[in-house]
Structure 1
Amino acid sequence: MGSLLFFFCIIFSLFQYSCSEAQKVTPAIYVFGDSLVDVGNNNHLALSLAKANFPHNGIDFPGKKPTGRFCNGRNAADFLAEKVGLPSSPPYLSLVYKKNTALFINGTSFASGGAGIFNGTDEVYRQSLPLTKQVEYYSTVHDKQVQQLGSTRAEQHFSKSLFTIVIGSNDLFGYFGSSKLRNRTTPEEYVDKMIVTLKEQLKRLHSYGARKFVMIGIGPIGCCPAQRRKSSSGDCFQEMNDWAIKYNDGLKSTLRELKSELNNINYSYFETYDVLNNLVQHPASYGFTEVKSACCGLGKFKSEVPCLPIAKYCSNRRDHVFWDLYHPTEATHSILSDYIFDGPPKYIFPLSVKQLVAL
């Protein structure tokens, strides 16, 4: 009995050591973005229609309860945190009134369903936190950490932390869904402005200590069930996909510029489009059988009614690429996060996140 107890003590000590070492390498993850990585901020926005704090969302999440994640379970931000030995970054709006700066020490998530690079992309959902507001909230967290840790320790903390940014899809949805926007500006002008505006926010984050960026490109959003249902044949909306590709090309160019313009920044860029497109084009290779229809919803491709409590959901979520009319299943998020963390250089570059955290 004594030897068994000794064995468990050793295992527990090694576990504690490995976790503490991982957190020394990556002390925190700060997440910025939209509903793809929202972990519950929109629960705290009274006017927002973009919420997921009701069934059947969260049916495969620990505890089987909805949390505000637009998913049947965990999303890519949760998986990424797990891979670097951290708890999932909690939603900022759940912490802000608790007045305990220690709550932010392992990072926080500012991501918000409906958010875009531009202010106002959330008009259809009434309320969200656009990227400018998310960065503003982060600046408050930054200042509180400086007060708590002192400027030197805080600078070290932020320089080793990951700044994950998943945004841009709602801007393109907004453009192609608005005749007013399309009449006022060309898609090329609009995408160029998206990139310029995002670059400004990245420079703001850099001014507040961010040095390691995890940049997630826009996926083939024209292939989500909400866009497929607009086609009589169920095909992807290719024009939207084409502009997603052009945005991604501009983002990659901008990241190279920032690398030369700013001191000591490093980044991982993830080619979401190619990986998710592979899943859609060759689903069987990844264990999927359904790429057109959502798992949860009603109507054509289960995309005419969102994943509300009245909706029907599939019995095997692992079969589906999409959970609802816009968002991937936990199975898809898991595959994407594997590529983000340690995928081949054609999908995650110039560094994988595994390489980024080791710097």
Structure 2
Amino acid sequence: MLHMADYVHARMILSLLVFPIFQASWSQGQAVPAIFVFGDSFVDVGNNNYLPLSLAKANFPHNGIDFPAHIATGRFSNGKNIADFIAEKVGLPSSPPYLSLGSASGVSYLTGVNFASGGAGILNPKNPLDTQSVPLCKQVQQYLEVQQGLTQHLGSSGAQKHLSKSLFFISFGSNDILAYSGSSDLRMTPLQEYVAQMATTLKAQLKTIYVHGARKFVVVGLPPIGCCPSQRITNTTRGCRDDSNTWTLLFNDALASLLQELKSELGNMTYSYGHSYPIVKSFIENPAAHGFREVKAACCGLGDLNAQIACLPVSQHCSNRGDHLFWDLFHPTEAAAGLYVDYIYDGPSQYASPINVRQLTAI
């Protein structure tokens, strides 16, 4: 019979054997050792499935109709989302949802973790709807737990080296802008002040992630939010909402500035800023060149532009999903997400700056 002391000794030996091999071989077929994802429903891979009170879920048909096994996983998409395609680009499996890991040890964190939550924002609203999603501040706290687990498993220097080579993907702000658009109470705060609050909060949280090991950041700006189906149906012309797009551009400018500030303040930080607005705008203005036929209506939903009722099991869904830009009221199709990642991963400086994601992984 194996005594506890012998068991612990055996585990220690196994760790010493396994992790040097892992650290020496991760680069074979992988551009980075891990990806840590923070964000909202654009990159949520199922965290909201584990929030019992949340209504912001996508773990039902017709979501996932084009995902392997044709199952809904909690992704707000007909298939893969942006986080999945980024992982594919660097030769990694998709980072698992943090809330699915329970009390997992550092072993589960080696190739990354996804903290993203549908409905999450930069600013943390102080109301009962906190139970609907995991905001930025809580996602960062979850990361600190992961970093502690990796440190315990790899040692301080091993964890720091591992994290310094990893990608930290950040996608936030859409829900804050949508909240401002839909709330007369929030609009009592001047727009410039509201956006400044978003930028200040995000900057502080990115600093915290940096202090705890992050060095390579992929931060994506907002697409033209006023052009998504949910916003178009509030416009009598069914065109894009200019006010929402103006607010979006204001935040994107603040985001670009804060990244430049962080780079100057944090010597070892490197980043790639994804210019989502011009990328998605080009899809809308020149759809045929990008393989799209429908850039206004959602693929899944009911009513005008398939956007008056969300994508639910009772909703209609299109059969030609590859030529639609939007899957539902807000989110891109798998085809659009994959094409978007192509632009930020290998694109020129008007789409990703000061370097693209491929160049960032090589540093």
Q: TM-score, normalised by structure 1?
A: 0.92
Q: 2:340 aligns with which of 322, 336, 348?
A: 336
Do structure 1's residue 212 and structure 2's residue 216 form an aligned pair?
Answer: yes
1:101 aligns with 2:109: no
- Structure 1 residue aligned with 2:72: 66
In structure 1, the partner of 2:63 is 57
Offset at 1:20? 4.5
Partner of 2:28: 21
Cα distance per residue 1:45-89 (max 9 Å; x no partner): 001010000000000001100000000000111011011010001
**Contact 1:341–1:353 under 8 Å retained in 2:** yes
1:165 to 162, 165, 170: 170
SS of 1:277 mapped into structure 2? helix
Aligned pairs for 1:169-180 (under 5 A) are 169-180=174-185
CA distance in 1, matches of 2:293, 2:304: 17
Shift of 1:120: 2.0
Report 1:88-237 matches (<5 A). Answer: 88-97=94-103, 99-120=104-125, 126-183=131-188, 185-237=189-241
2:293 counterpart of 1:289: yes
**How far apart are the structure 2 equivalents of 1:31 and 1:41?**
12
* Structure 2 segments unaligned to the other structure (5+ residues): 1-23
What is the match of residue 85 of structure 2?
79
SS of equivalent to 2:68? coil
- Secondary structure, counterpart of 2:63 in structure 1: coil
Stretches of structure 1 lacking an aligned partner (at least 5 in a row): 1-16
Between the aligned partners of 2:86 and 2:235, the Cα distance in structure 1 is 35
Corresponding residue number in structure 2 for 1:315: 319
Q: What secondary structure sits across from 1:293 in the alignment? A: strand
Is 1:40 the counterpart of 2:40? The answer is no
Identity %: 56
1:271 matched residue in structure 2? 275
What amino acid sits opposite 2:280 in the alignment? Answer: L
Letter in 1 for 2:180: Y
Aligned 8 A contact 1:289 1:320 in 2: yes
| Partner Cα distance (2:165, 2:333) in 1 | 30
- CA distance in 1 between counterparts of 2:336 and 2:25 reads 28
Given that 1:114 and 1:122 are in contact with CA atoms closer than 8 Å, whether structure 2 keeps it comes out as no
Distance 2:309 2:137 in 1: 30
**What is the CA distance between 1:233 and its match in structure 2?**
1.1
Alpha-carbon deviation of 1:314? 0.2
Counterpart-to-counterpart distance in 1, 2:248 and 2:52? 31
CA RMSD between the two structures: 1.5
Distance in 1 separating the partners of 2:128 and 2:173: 15
Q: Is the 8 A contact 1:49 1:126 kept in 2?
A: no
SS in 1 for 2:360: helix
Q: 2:36 aligns with which of 24, 30, 51?
A: 30
1:245 corresponds in structure 2 to 249
Q: In the alignment, what sits opposite 1:326?
A: 330
CA shift at 1:96, angstroms? 2.3
Q: Which one-letter code corresponds to 1:151 in the other structure?
A: S
Decide whether the 8 Å contact of 1:116 with 1:170 is kept in 2.
yes
Q: Which amino acid aligns with 2:269?
A: I
CA 49–177 in structure 1, closer or farther in 2 if over 3 Å, else same: same
Check 1:293–1:317 CA distance in 2 against 1; reply closer, same or farther (3 A cut): same
In 1, distance between residues paired with 2:323 and 2:129? 31
1:100 Cα offset (Å): 3.0
Q: Deviations over 1:256-278 (max 9, x none)?
A: 11111012000000100000011
Letter of the 1:21 partner, please give it: Q
User: Given that residues 271 and 348 in structure 1 are in contact (C-alpha distance below 8 angstroms), is that contact kept between their aligned partners in structure 2?
Assistant: yes
Q: Give 3-state SS (helix, strand or coil) of 1:163's partner.
A: strand
Query: Residues 292 and 324 of structure 2 are in contact (CA less than 8 Å); yes or no, is this contact kept in structure 1?
Result: yes
One-letter identity of the residue aligned with 1:295: C
SS of residue matched to 1:30:
strand
Q: Aligned to 1:21, what secondary structure does the other structure show?
A: coil
- 8 Å contact 1:294–1:325 — kept in the other structure? yes
The CA distance in 1 between the partners of 2:201 and 2:122, in whole Å, is: 7
> What CA distance in whole angstroms lies between the structure 2 residues aligned with 1:212 and 1:153?
17
> Using the alignment, how far apart are the partners of 2:258 and 2:38 within structure 1?
18
Q: 1:198 to 1:278 in 2, by over 3 A?
A: same
- Counterpart residue number, 1:8: none
Aligned residues of 2:43 and 2:83 also touching (Cα < 8 A): yes
Measured in 1, the distance between the counterparts of 2:47 and 2:82 equals: 16
CA pair 18-345 structure 1, distance change in 2 beyond 3 A: farther
